Amino acid sequence: MSSKPRKKPEELRSHRWYGVNDLRSFGHRSRTAQMGYHRSDYAGKPVIAIINTWSDINPCHSHFRQRAEEVKRGIWQAGGFPVEMPAISLSEPFQKPTTMLYRNLLAMETEELLRGYPADGCVLMGGCDKTTPALIMGALSMNLPTIFVPAGPMLRGDFKGEFLGSGSDTWKYWAELRAGNITEEEWKGVEDGIARSPGHCMTMGTASTMTSATEAMGLTLPGAASIPAPDSRHAQMATLTGKRIVDMVWEDLCIRDIVDARAIDNAVITALALGGSTNAVVHMIALARRAGVALDLARFDALARKTPVLANVRPSGKYLMEDFFYAGGLRAMLAQLTDLLDGKAMTVNGHTLSENIRGAVTYNDDVIRPRSNPLVDSDGLAVLRGNLAPDGAVIKPAAMEAHLQKHTGRAVVFKDYNDMAARIDDAALDVDKDSVIVMQSGGPQGAPGMPEWGQLPIPKKLLQQGVRDMLRISDARMSGTSYGACVLHVAPESHIGGPLALVRDGDLIELDVANRKLELKISEAELATRRAAWTAPKPHYNRGFGVLYLKHIKQANEGCDFDFLEEGASDAKTLDPEIH
């Protein structure tokens, strides 16, 4: 429970819109009446903004129209006044060049919707990759009572009686098609069966990682993140969320009362124990900084060294999120990690994390492994440094072939994505299984938007020889549903003159995961000569949102927030608009 005194109706933020007796509030009330509401529907009640990222073009959120109604039902029942506010959806499968270009735009939109309208508290509805961090970043900057409704994973995919996993099996069967091992007809069967219900990707991609981290951070009702989207218990969770947010407003339990350094560490440990997406690194750093917590890559690496991977979920493991739910879900996994987590951290239901996970049972200990039998002992993620990545890079050791963890090979360099796409399958390309594939211009400014290009394809001629993993390096991100020896997020990025820009064909590159090393094996003098000869590429945009983005985007190791948004999160009172 919040230690603050219970709010009185006249202390509600919305009182300044609805409760005072002046010309402007006459306008607010008469226009609310215009929508069919009687004064008794809202007078003296908390106004709850439902920030809904539903869209016709976002299949992961296609159930959110209905779920918003269920959230409203709970709000009405608890004596609140629900107001649904749509926000940009960021649909991972459709938005080009990448949803990452727009994460901060959704964060800004969330913050400004909450600021500009009479919201006393909010329910955030997201799940598809960037929507989760974006909504939370915006809400953190506004600091109202807040609960997150995760979209929930979709059902397992189905193809010829086999379970298919989002993303992971796309890459797998695409490689088999290119290698000539499956037919076009079979490939169409994969297309029809891989995504067969509402909900976000059901592998341990960015969506499952971030919604689970959000639950561990204390921002969902207990157990919410694991419930499959079409399950009736998901609808029940939405209604219970609506009920709870009204009480949170009266208790004045705000999001920044919950998201502190303990909650951030709990979220990072959770992402690591899940064998979660590398994208969580960028998002968690951005989100933590909005909360005034100085999370950095070193903290990620330190936590990774002591956190076992317990979730046997693809791409690191075998199962899918539906199995994870039936095995006990996130609460069951967190109950195995009580010595690493800070159980005193507060959560949205007014109870601590340890109270929420107490008594959670694992029903299948192959899906949720016990501490005595982890999938991987530690290092679900590793932060690399060296002359090729002075500000860091990340790799997911659990999802790569073990023999590549210590590897030296000669570079095969592509100057950007188009160059790579044009030449990677060229039979004349000078590449073998020990080569290191390097792609430049995949970073926050270079791509732009740091797309999920980091799982660089293996050249066709090597696929046909049976090669399924190679060392690959870029300043791009990688889909959390991907796998392979892919060094990602190299910082600083090549587009702004990071050392990745200076690599040439034939250079030797050394990766040593155990020692967290990534080195370009050329002399300092040669590096300096190449740096002096390097010229900065032209910026990608000269108008519109892209200009704002390029001017203010920070590098991957700093979370890719806009510089003007990350520090000094708002005091809602001083930044609230005056009412005229």
Shortest distance (Å) from residue 265 CB to ligand FES: 25
Phi, psi of 529 (to 5 degrees): -65, -45
Give yes or no for residue 128 binding ligand FES (CB under 6 A).
yes
Shortest distance (Å) from residue 154 CB to ligand FES: 8
Give yes or no for residue 207 binding ligand FES (CB under 6 A).
yes
- Cis status of the peptide bond prior to 537, with omega within 30 of 0: no
Shortest distance (Å) from residue 201 CB to ligand FES: 3
Give yes or no for residue 194 binding ligand FES (CB under 6 A).
no
DSSP labels, 437-477: EEE-S-STTTTTS--S--SPPPPHHHHTTT----EEEESS-
β-strand pairing of 389-395 with 81-86: unpaired
How far lies 408's CA from each of 109, 205, 453, 468, 470, in Å? 46, 29, 22, 18, 11
Residue from 93, 189, 230, 390 binding ligand FES (CB under 6 A): 93
Retrieve residue 108's tokens.
């800004």
Shortest distance (Å) from residue 334 CB to ligand FES: 22
Give yes or no for residue 60 binding ligand FES (CB under 6 A).
yes
122 touches 88 (CB < 8 A):
no
Residue from 129, 379, 493, 510 binding ligand FES (CB under 6 A): 129
Give yes or no for residue 111 binding ligand FES (CB under 6 A).
no
Residue from 15, 16, 63, 200 binding ligand FES (CB under 6 A): 200
Give yes or no for residue 86 binding ligand FES (CB under 6 A).
no
- Grouping H, G, I as helix, E, B as strand and the rest as coil, residue 84 is strand
Q: Which is nearer to ligand FES, 132 or 557 (CB)?
A: 132
Contacts of residue 554, Cβ cutoff 8 Å, sequence gap at least 6: 444, 560, 561, 562, 563, 566
Retrieve residue 419's tokens.
């160059």
Give yes or no for residue 452 binding ligand FES (CB under 6 A).
no
Q: Which of 86, 557, 443, 107 is nearest to 290 (CA)?
A: 107
Query: Residues 140-169: x/- map of binding to ligand FES (CB under 6 A)?
Result: --------------------------x---
Q: Which is nearer to ligand FES, 126 or 409 (CB)?
A: 126
Any idea how long the chain is? 580
Shortest distance (Å) from residue 152 CB to ligand FES: 11
∠ Cα 503 471 458 (to 5°) = 100
- Cis status of the peptide bond prior to 315, with omega within 30 of 0: yes
Q: Scan residues 19-48 and list those touching ligand FES (CB under 6 A).
A: none
Q: Which is nearer to ligand FES, 212 or 349 (CB)?
A: 212
Shortest distance (Å) from residue 116 CB to ligand FES: 28
Q: Which is nearer to ligand FES, 57 or 294 (CB)?
A: 57
How far, in Å, CA of 64 to CA of 70, rounded? 9
User: What angle in degrees, to the nearest 10, is found between the helix axes of 168-178 and 184-193?
Assistant: 170
Q: Which residue has the tokens 């869209």?
A: 55
Residue from 205, 275, 329, 444 binding ligand FES (CB under 6 A): 205
How far, in Å, CA of 21 to CA of 3, rounded? 32
Q: Which is nearer to ligand FES, 202 or 360 (CB)?
A: 202
How far, in Å, CA of 73 to CA of 62, rounded? 19
Shortest distance (Å) from residue 60 CB to ligand FES: 3
Q: Which is nearer to ligand FES, 53 or 474 (CB)?
A: 53
Site size for ligand FES, by CB under 6 A? 10
- Grouping H, G, I as helix, E, B as strand and the rest as coil, residue 309 is strand
437 touches 402 (CB < 8 A):
no
Give yes or no for residue 317 binding ligand FES (CB under 6 A).
no
Residue from 92, 120, 247, 507 binding ligand FES (CB under 6 A): 92
Q: Which residue has the tokens 């919410």?
A: 224
Shortest distance (Å) from residue 200 CB to ligand FES: 4
Shortest distance (Å) from residue 479 CB to ligand FES: 8
Write the DSSP symbol of residue 537.
Answer: P
Q: Which stretch binds ligand FES (CB under 6 A): 200-208, 259-267, 300-308, 461-469?
A: 200-208
Shortest distance (Å) from residue 61 CB to ligand FES: 8
How far, in Å, CA of 513 to CA of 508, rounded? 16
Q: Which is nearer to ligand FES, 92 or 379 (CB)?
A: 92
Q: Which stretch binds ligand FES (CB under 6 A): 157-165, 198-206, 333-341, 373-381?
A: 198-206
Retrieve residue 206's tokens.
């960015």
142 touches 111 (CB < 8 A):
yes
Write the DSSP symbol of residue 13.
Answer: T
Give yes or no for residue 274 binding ligand FES (CB under 6 A).
no
Give yes or no for residue 201 binding ligand FES (CB under 6 A).
yes
Q: Which is nearer to ligand FES, 168 or 312 (CB)?
A: 168
Q: Which is nearer to ligand FES, 207 or 375 (CB)?
A: 207
Q: Which residues bind ligand FES (CB under 6 A)?
A: 60, 92-93, 128-129, 166, 200-201, 205, 207
